[in-house]
Structure 1
Amino acid sequence: MIAFAPAAVLLLLFLVSMWKDRRRFRNAVLLGLTLIWASIGVLFLIPSLPPVAAIAAVALVLLVPALGTLVLGVFLVRNGITMLRKEGRRPANLLSLAAGLGIFGLIALIAYTGDRGSPAMDAAVGGLVLLVGYVSFLFACFLAYAFLYGRTHVRSEVDYVVVLGSGLIGGERVPPLLASRLEKGRRIQAAQATQAARGGGRVPLLLVSGGQGPDEKLSEARAMADWLIEQGVAPELIRLEDRSRTTDENLAFSRAVMEEEAGPDYRCVVVTNNFHAFRAAMTARKAGVNGQVVGSPTARYFWPSATIREFVAVFWEHRLVNLVVCGAIVVATGVAALVA
């Protein structure tokens, strides 16, 4: 069982880090490293396993990821085509298609250069594989932990339910994506109101956050508040934060509103869409917001591209470390190509 010692240590570090604050990206990396070392531990056990169990272990650790990569490539290409058909040809809608084609492009490149007998080309391709492997590892960590973080539930009473804005249709109407967030926030408030009626607690306020863009006729917060009132929410239970233009400002300005009204000991839950929940949680942590983030449902076809976009943003937010690692891989690849 010594083979699983690194995985056990990493798992302990992951649990401690998550207990301290679930909103850190390092939690995702620790989870990924734990799974990798657990897989290595399984490989070390193979010689001592019965034949059937050994085959199953090899398939689980090696074959499933390989086949999973092919399946993922097909899925991303199909999803990319769906995105183009339903959402148009904006660059953000090309992400899943580009990722799927990139998977098959890399496989084709490896197959093409495999029998060329060129050490320099092999070194270059090897460096590219390392780069892709590093980014893919971080993406897998992000995806796994974002899924885990998405299981967050509101377990205690809160003072505010903060709903983040996301743009308006025609400059004045709430789109389906934002309506999903608002409905999630309304349901959380209703559930908390029921608990308050039973136990004598306080009904949380709905704080809608979003300023007015240059092409909008009113602030997102005003449109969101109007939508909630149409759904039966009492106006006195709604607060507006109508200055923000970005997620950072959403959370910073909302924090100011909550602290001014309820003091620094307020408790809140932040609502956004599920693909955005983990990154919003990291932003909330940096902004000093006292609360976790929950996600509302998103159309299935929209989720892959949106998730890739969120990962790109997280990757860039940690660009110093990531660029250093990527730069080191490029330099090592160049040296290896020259030596070859």
Structure 2
Amino acid sequence: MLAFAPAALLFVFFCASVREDRRRFRNAVLLGLTFISLAMALLFQLTHLPDTLARIVAVAVFLVPAVGVVALACFLVANGVTMVRKEGRSPGNLLSLLAGLAIFAVLALAVVAMASGSTKVAGMTAMVIMIAVYVSFLFVCFLAYAYLYGRIRVRGDVDYVVMLGSGLICGDRVPPLLASRLRKGMRIYVAQCARGGTAPLLLPSGGKGSNEKVAEARAMADWLIAEGVPADHVVLENRSRTTEENLTFSRTIMEEGKADYRCVVVTNNFHAFRAAMMARKVGVNGQVLGSPTAAYFWPSATIREFVAVFVEHKGVNLTVCGTLFAFGVLLTLLAG
């Protein structure tokens, strides 16, 4: 049973970290390390398991991930084609397609390395695979924990419901993506009022872009009022240009209204975890909830969020990738 001790210890650290603050990226990494340690422990126990159970464990640890990688690559390429067809060829819309092609490229490189028999090619391939595995590990951690974070429920009343802007159509109209956030915020507002709590203030957040006729917050407020929210229950934050400014300026408004405020922040589900990390960074006292997003839009948007998180932690990530690159070069030189 000692083989399971690292997994148990990592799980304890994960639970303690989540209890301290749900909005940390380290929670995602600890969760991933817990599952890897558990898989390794199960492999160590194979010789002690009945044959049927041992085969099931071996398939789960080796075959399922291998098949999953190919299936994921196929899905991402298909989704990328759908994104281009429905949303156009902007760089952000190409992310799922590029990610799928990158997976196929790494698999093809591995096949070529095995077929060539060249130790130098094998060394360089090992370097690429190690970096790909590291990035993939972080992505899976991000994906799994973002899913768990999206399942949280905020208990008790809140003083504010902050709704993050996402751009307007024709300069003054709320698009479907933003309307999804506003509906989520309205449901929180209505539910709190229905259970007899004090009506929270709805705080739409977003400034006026260069191609917009009005501030996003103004268009969002008009949408909410048209849906039946009393105008005096809506407070605007209309200066921000980025998510960080959304949260920073909204925090100032909330603190001025009530020093010990409690809030929830609403965005789309693909953006919720990164927005939560940013909310923690700027000192917002509240969790982030996600609203539904069109299924075809979700993969590319999630990859974009991961890339942003990866860049935000570029110090440690570049150090690890650089170390793996140097190790790969060393293997290639030794092979020569």
Matches within 5 A, 1:249-264: 249-263=245-259
- Measure how far apart 1:154 and its partner are: 2.0
What is the alpha-carbon distance in structure 2 between the residues aligned to residue 228 and residue 36 of structure 1? Answer: 46
Residue in structure 2 matched with residue 96 of structure 1 by the alignment: 96
Kindly report structure 1 stretches of 4+ aligned residues shifted beyond 6 Å: none
Q: Deviation string for 1:28-61 (max 9, x for gaps)?
A: 0000000000011111111111111111000111
- Measure how far apart 1:106 and its partner are: 1.0
Residue in structure 1 matched with residue 157 of structure 2 by the alignment: 157
Query: Aligned match of 1:297 in 292, 297, 301?
Result: 292
Partner secondary structure for residue 153 of structure 1: coil
Residue in structure 1 matched with residue 237 of structure 2 by the alignment: 241
Residue in structure 2 matched with residue 271 of structure 1 by the alignment: 266
Residue in structure 1 matched with residue 308 of structure 2 by the alignment: 313
Partner secondary structure for residue 206 of structure 1: strand
Partner secondary structure for residue 236 of structure 2: strand
What is the alpha-carbon distance in structure 2 between the residues aligned to residue 323 and residue 150 of structure 1? Answer: 28
Letter of the 2:227 counterpart: Q
Corresponding residue pairs, total: 335
Partner secondary structure for residue 287 of structure 2: strand
Matches within 5 A, 1:1-340: 1-195=1-195, 197=196, 201-263=197-259, 265-340=260-335
Q: Deviation string for 1:114-148 (max 9, x for gaps)?
A: 03121111110000000000000000000000000
- Measure how far apart 1:209 and its partner are: 0.3
Q: Deviation string for 1:197-243 (max 9, x for gaps)?
A: 2xxx4211100000000110000000000000111111011000000
Letter of the 2:269 counterpart: N
What is the alpha-carbon distance in structure 2 between the residues aligned to residue 279 and residue 269 of structure 1? Answer: 14
Letter of the 1:273 counterpart: N
What is the alpha-carbon distance in structure 1 between the residues aligned to residue 154 and residue 185 of structure 2? Answer: 11
- Measure how far apart 1:156 and its partner are: 1.4
What is the alpha-carbon distance in structure 2 between the residues aligned to residue 188 and residue 153 of structure 1? Answer: 11
- Measure how far apart 1:332 and its partner are: 1.3
What is the alpha-carbon distance in structure 1 between the residues aligned to residue 106 and residue 330 of structure 2? Answer: 22
Q: With structure 1 as the length reference, what TM-score do the two structures score?
A: 0.98
What is the alpha-carbon distance in structure 2 between the residues aligned to residue 135 and residue 92 of structure 1? Answer: 19
| Uncovered stretches (5+) of structure 2, i.e. residues with no partner | none
- Measure how far apart 1:83 and its partner are: 0.2
What is the alpha-carbon distance in structure 2 between the residues aligned to residue 242 and residue 152 of structure 1? Answer: 28
Q: Deviation string for 1:142-192 (max 9, x for gaps)?
A: 000000000011211100000000000011000000000000000001001
Partner secondary structure for residue 249 of structure 1: helix
Letter of the 2:62 counterpart: L
Q: Percent identity?
A: 61
What is the alpha-carbon distance in structure 2 between the residues aligned to residue 238 and residue 88 of structure 1? Answer: 35
| Uncovered stretches (5+) of structure 1, i.e. residues with no partner | none
Letter of the 1:131 counterpart: I
Q: With structure 2 as the length reference, what TM-score do the two structures score?
A: 0.99
Cα RMSD, aligned residues only: 0.7
- Measure how far apart 1:112 and its partner are: 1.1
Partner secondary structure for residue 292 of structure 1: strand
